[in-house]
Structure 1
């Protein structure tokens, strides 16, 4: 069993970007440090959010941990609060952008090795009904390369 002192919580994932929390080669770490000129739609000690550079839907946001965390395959049960915070933030960003129909929204992660960036990131896509053919394929439900936030949380919660 994990030591409680070493269990990550949303509050412990701070955005100080010390050497161990920042990957100099990671594009998302560079965005969070302000090195890329990307507008942050949300930023706190735990997570940040910005628009996807190649949107797959009219609203396509990425919610990322404010410190470098590997892809979803590297997560453990202790990361559940972080993933929940990412999902909550995605919903808040949609609400701020007048997207209220959550039945036409997709929240998910690309499953390794199908990640273009190894920094954990939640795709927030809306409305799904307006996604084009390629986006429907890339962000396809029940596929080998994309898991919903709920599927990831189920997986993490079932870990011993």
Structure 2
């Protein structure tokens, strides 16, 4: 799946960040994915990974999104290590994907929080 302007929301905060219209502290980007540091980190390492096109929530994924989600799952541990998480099994990280109002999703653009570093963390 290739992102296009038809798959973005001009009012979405994360679409604007991925497009470079709002500054962020970049962790990673390619044609499909964008990762950036959380502005209110809950752990020593805390960044978000998003698709570059607008998918409002994990609950709305379809089979066509499977390759992109697979890439996210494979990329997350690599980026976690690059950002300072210790290797498995003594180290590690947590991945969280809030979905919908009951799932505490604040920004309705699919995003995964990757958090790690020495415990205890501020939250979570």
Alignment of 1:7-86 (within 5 A): 12-14=1-3, 17-18=4-5, 20-86=6-72
May I ask how many residue pairs the two structures share in their alignment?
120
Change beyond 3 A, Cα 1:31–1:94: same
Change beyond 3 A, Cα 1:108–1:81: farther
d(CA) in 2 for partners of 1:69 and 1:128?
A: 32
5+ residue gaps in structure 2? none
> Any conservation in 2 of the 1:62–1:121 contact (CA below 8 Å)?
yes
d(CA) in 1 for partners of 2:24 and 2:83?
A: 18
RMSD: 1.8
- Structure with more helix by fraction: 1
Task: Report the structure number with the largest CA radius of gyration.
Answer: 1
Bigger relative CO (Cα 8 Å, ≥ 6 apart):
2
Aligned twin of 1:106: 94
TM-score scaled to structure 2, two decimals?
0.85
